[in-house]
Amino acid sequence: MIQLIRTEIAKLGGSLALLFALVVPALTSCLALLTIVVNERQSSWEMILGGFTLPLWVLFIFPMATATFATLCAQIEYRAKAWDHLLALPYPRWQLFAAKAIVVQGALMLMTVLLFVYTYGLISLAGWIIGEMPSGNPQVARIADSSVRFLAAGLLLTVIQLWVALRFANFVIPLAVGIAGTLVGLAVTMVGTEDADWFPWVLTLRASGEDWMQPVLIGLTGGIIAIGLMLLDLSRRAPR
Amino acid sequence: MLMGFAIETDDLRKELGGRPVIRGCSLQVPEGSVYGFIGPNGAGKTTVMRLLLRVLKADSGSIRMLGHDMNSDPRRALAKTGAFVESPALYEHLTARGNLDLTRRLLGLPESEIDRVLDVTGMARHAARKVRDYSLGMRQRVGLARALLGKPELLLLDEPTNGLDPEGISEMRELIRDLPDRIGATVFVSSHLLSEVEQVASHAGLLREGQLVMQGRMQSLLASERTLVVGTDKPKEAITLLTAAGHTVRFGGSHQLAITCSRGSEFADFAQRINTSLVESGIGVSELREESRSLEDLYKTAAGTGLKGEAA
């Protein structure tokens, strides 16, 4: 299994998926910088990281990035027509797909870490250039805590996206699922209803707030069940 | 000496989308042979390859590969099998070495294996280039190199000369022909071109509409009926002469005759005898060649011979 995971990581080298994983957090950080630049009042680290970067990431960028990254990872195999080769390797099939799921989840965690590293670096650099740093502390522990919670709650969303991406050769399908899910998530947030708290694309936002226990439990439990079903389905169907 | 079978299947059957695609395929591929798996496009060759590799599961029938039952113990056989099916599946954003390294890691092989297979396939010079810059021929070679990783005992190659130019076909043919001697592997190679298989295979099997209609030694296949085409300035006289001598003759063109040679293995002697008798009778001979045989001809021959199940 370790070899499979290492191979999946090696496959990302030089791929569009890797480029995407590095660039998207940077672009989000640039957006954070822009808000500081246009804001005439002095900003605080709490506002920049906890009040802008994290919500933007959780509500919009993360679900879209999950859809795109999962699709790009699956398309690495589809474009190479590599399924026959992979499935003929002397490994249990479920391990091939499980390795992919682990790498995708790991990459999303890394992207979240990069987001805060980039944002902190970029804002610090800008503050050093203009001679005015944001007030307060970055509150790393609080940000890390929120991130762990929303990533755990996001497991269900990640598995759904990866499942659809691996299941269908046509990349439009997982992207459409991702866009539709994100839009519904946005609508639910704007309306402020609590009727759709179970919706996978809403769970991440709920988990990063105060009442995080229920969304984390639903996201984690649902994610674990979904990954089991995904491995069963993909092992039986064998993608082409 | 009794020879074992590297691949032995019994009445394989498979339906895809409710349509029977494989309708009874009982292969017997002798160890150490180059087995040509011939059939027209759509006959089910690639599906059989997928069944052998357990990418697809057969609806019924059994498969034994390298002595292992593929239903109960597929991984031990797959660990000793190299393959490429349909096209060499390569990651275009990686180099040839990068692609080979992925499989090498998964098979737990030393890094030196990469250099060995690159040497065997003549790709060592180009190994640092990204696959997206490769020609089709180079991709086929890298695909073959990957199949050779770990010195497999069995190689399954699906149409390895597909899309290659004549020079590439010739090189790939030589490579395949030498594999049993170079690495001691049994080679199972599919093609829709009889002429391709004829030049590399020691054994062959013919698949038609999902059914194995014949298999056996290549010699046995070649021993079946062949046709000699003779170009002559006096076709009528030639027909009279040859028919009187007991040959089956038909017009093959304005100045051409087609003469049946019932013992294909003695074709060269037969051509020489015909030529001599015509020339000695004062009939000029301007052309002497074998009429190219189509798969259809072989199927017809198969119906009239008992070649099926004669693999060893």
Q: Who among A6, A15, A80 is closest to B89 (CB)?
A: A80
Partners of B53 on chain A (C-beta within 8 Å) are: 84, 87-88
Which helix (H) or strand (E) is B96 found in, with range?
Answer: helix B96-107
* Number of C-beta neighbours around residue B164 at 10 A: 20
The helix/strand/coil state of B47 is helix
Buried b (16+ CB within 10 A) or exposed e, B125-138: ebbeebbeebeebb
Enclosing domain of residue A148: 2-236
Q: Which of A53, A58, A101 is nearest to A203 (CA)?
A: A58
Q: Does A94 touch chain B (CB under 8 A)?
A: no
What is the per-residue pLDDT for A84? 84
DSSP one-letter string for B138-177 = HHHHHHHHHHHTT--SEEEEESTTTT--HHHHHHHHHHHH
Contact (Cβ atoms closer than 8 angstroms) between residue A207 and residue A188: no
Q: Which residues, 6+ apart, have CB-to-CB distance to B73 below 8 Å? A: none
Residue recorded with tokens 């599946």: B89
CB contact under 8 A, B94 and A14: yes
What is the per-residue pLDDT for B1? 41
What is the per-residue pLDDT for B3? 62
Residue recorded with tokens 């770990």: B150
Q: Which residues, 6+ apart, have CB-to-CB distance to B102 below 8 Å? A: A7, A10, A11, B91, B94
The helix/strand/coil state of A185 is helix
Q: Which two tokens stand for residue A188?
A: 């639910």
Ranges of chain B with pLDDT below 70: 1-3, 222-224, 265, 292-312
What is the per-residue pLDDT for B307? 45
Q: List, in sequence order, every residue forming a beta bridge with B130; answer none if it has no partner.
A: B95
What is the per-residue pLDDT for B297? 65
What's the alpha-carbon Rg for chain B, to the nearest Å? 23
What is the per-residue pLDDT for A162? 94
Partners of B94 on chain A (C-beta within 8 Å) are: 11, 13-14
What is the per-residue pLDDT for A172? 92
ipTM summary value: 0.77
The helix, strand and coil proportions of chain B, stated in percent and rounded to the nearest 5, come to 40, 30, 35
Contact (Cβ atoms closer than 8 angstroms) between residue B206 and residue B214: yes
Contact (Cβ atoms closer than 8 angstroms) between residue B311 and residue B29: yes
What is the per-residue pLDDT for A23? 92
**Alpha-carbon torsion (B292, B293, B294, B295), positive or negative:** negative
Partners of A92 on chain B (C-beta within 8 Å) are: 75
CB contact under 8 A, A13 and B94: yes
Check residue A47 and report its DSSP letter.
I
Contact (Cβ atoms closer than 8 angstroms) between residue B227 and residue B242: no
- Cα distance between residue B235 and residue B253, in whole Å: 10
Partners of B84 on chain A (C-beta within 8 Å) are: 85
Residue of chain A nearest B90, judged by CA positions: A80
Longest dimension (CA), chain A: 62
Number of compact structural domains in chain A:
1
What is the per-residue pLDDT for B292? 65
CB contact under 8 A, B93 and A81: no
- Cα distance between residue B155 and residue A171, in whole Å: 33
Q: How many helices (H) and strands (E) does chain A have?
A: 12, 0
CB contact under 8 A, A85 and B89: yes
CB contact under 8 A, B92 and A80: yes
Contact (Cβ atoms closer than 8 angstroms) between residue B103 and residue A96: no
Residue of chain B nearest A5, judged by CA positions: B106
CB contact under 8 A, B106 and A80: no
What is the per-residue pLDDT for A70? 94
What is the per-residue pLDDT for B170? 81
- Cα distance between residue A164 and residue A177, in whole Å: 8
Distances (CA, A) of B259 to A37, B4, B265, B289, B290: 91, 40, 15, 11, 10
- Cα distance between residue B194 and residue B199, in whole Å: 9
Contact (Cβ atoms closer than 8 angstroms) between residue A112 and residue A147: yes
Ranges of chain A with pLDDT below 50: none
